[in-house]
Chain A
């Protein structure tokens, strides 16, 4: 390989890795953990429990460092509606909402199918925990069944 070509490749690699590492060099880290990773809504009489609470709150721990004045946000994205395999029935995921503690940076909200909903946002560093208490709107019109869906919690710099 000619020396000129080699030099050009090395130069490109240096700049590429410099760019890749720029975030790290600034010391930006975003860490997210949720506990538990599964919640359940028990069956209930819609006349008695119009809003069914999940069996436990989801503890969301966020650690954002090296952010400077940059902002971050936590979004929740349901990967579709609640669905039951055997009945092929579904319940609109928008029937699930949450009430947050630690407002701000956390906020209350309602899930949406395949649409990110902001659950927390702040600029700068953060190292704390908030609880999200989920509720299911209980209606007579649901088909009986065992429904499930996953919700992606994404913490990102914006």
Chain B
């Protein structure tokens, strides 16, 4: 028994010397991630064409394919309470025929939307934000919007234009 003790201590000492043959340094890594929001649209123009008798107040779909919408967001949270952010749509003024000055209320334009977090349907409002989508986590949110125009016999023939603003943010 005793004759094994000394080699055992030798091995312990040798092993400990191997353990000491290392050195360590620490690197601190910091990363800053800022809140940011971005909105992308596949098209920035839609048009409607009167094709039927307006007496029946037909719903006219936009001539183009639905607009692809992508909301990209890096948002914040405090502990487990996230910061909500929204996509809003606003009609800047009303539909106006520049040549005659005739107008059509923007309430004639509605939309349907698809995609996670998007509000399924809504109606434009003049100079007023309308909610089009809401989320509470960072990520990319894709959807589609298709606009429609509700025609009316009281609308005089003409070429009407309107600017619509979409914005994304925490407001």
Contacts and interface: CB of A to CB of B under 8 A. Distances in A.
A140 B77 contact: no
Interface string B103-127: 0000000000000000000000000
- Range of interface residues on A (Cβ < 8 Å): 35 or more
A107 B32 CA distance: 27
A91 B32 CA distance: 11
Given A15-B6, A38-B27, A143 B17 contact: no
B55 interface: no
Contacts of A3: none
Nearest to B73: A140
A20 B74 contact: no
Contacts of A7: none
Contacts of B29: 38-41, 54, 78, 82, 96, 134, 148-151
Contact of A87 (B14, B23, B78): B78
Query: What interface size band does chain B fall in?
Result: 35 or more
Contact of A28 (B15, B21, B72): B21
Given A20-B13, A86-B78, A157-B18, A42 B32 contact: yes
A22 B17 contact: yes
B139 interface: yes
Interface of B: 5-6, 9-18, 20-36, 38, 72-80, 138-140
8 contacts: A20-B16, A86-B78, A87-B78, A140-B72, A140-B74, A142-B138, A152-B24, A155-B24
